[in-house]
Amino acid sequence: MFGISFSELLLVGLVALLVLGPERLPGAARTAGLWIGRLKRSFNSIKMEVEREIGADDIRRQLHNEHIMHMEEQAKRILNPNAPPAQPPVTTATVQPPTGLPTTPAETDVTAPATAHPTPVAPEPPRAP
């Protein structure tokens, strides 16, 4: 983390032993360990809180963008009521026909009348928010 090697750590320990003496060094090491633990926990809690806030901001931004996209689609439908509604993107996955359905033209019923143009459906009026 700080790039402290073993020899530097040994030098700090030796200086602490000379300054504090053998009777006070264990208590000082214990106190230093407690303070370092408190600092680590404080930094970790601050880090987690910041990450949680960033995640909440991302979620808010995504919801806002989805709301804008929905409003844009509504505006397009109002301005151009004859246009078909937006379709979800088509995937390139292959679709297998269900079992038991006719798969060849000879098995299909050709007596049903074919319609070239589907009957138009009136668009819904826009709703008030």
Position with higher pLDDT, 12 vs 102: 12
Q: The whole model's pTM is what? A: 0.40
Angle between helices 6-20 and 25-79 (to 10 degrees): 130
For residues 29 and 17, what is the distance between their CA atoms, to the nearest angstrom?
10
Domain ranges, ordered by start, for the chain: 6-83
15-74 pLDDT, tens digit per residue, is 998 898 889 989 998 999 999 999 999 999 999 998 888 888 888 888 899 999 999 999
78-123 pLDDT, tens digit per residue, is 888 776 665 655 555 555 555 555 555 554 454 545 555 555 555 6
CA-to-CA dists, residue 79 to 32, 51, 83, 111, 126, angstroms: 70, 42, 9, 40, 11
CB 83, CB 76: distance < 8 Å = yes
Among 65, 66, 76, which Cα is nearest to 123's? 76
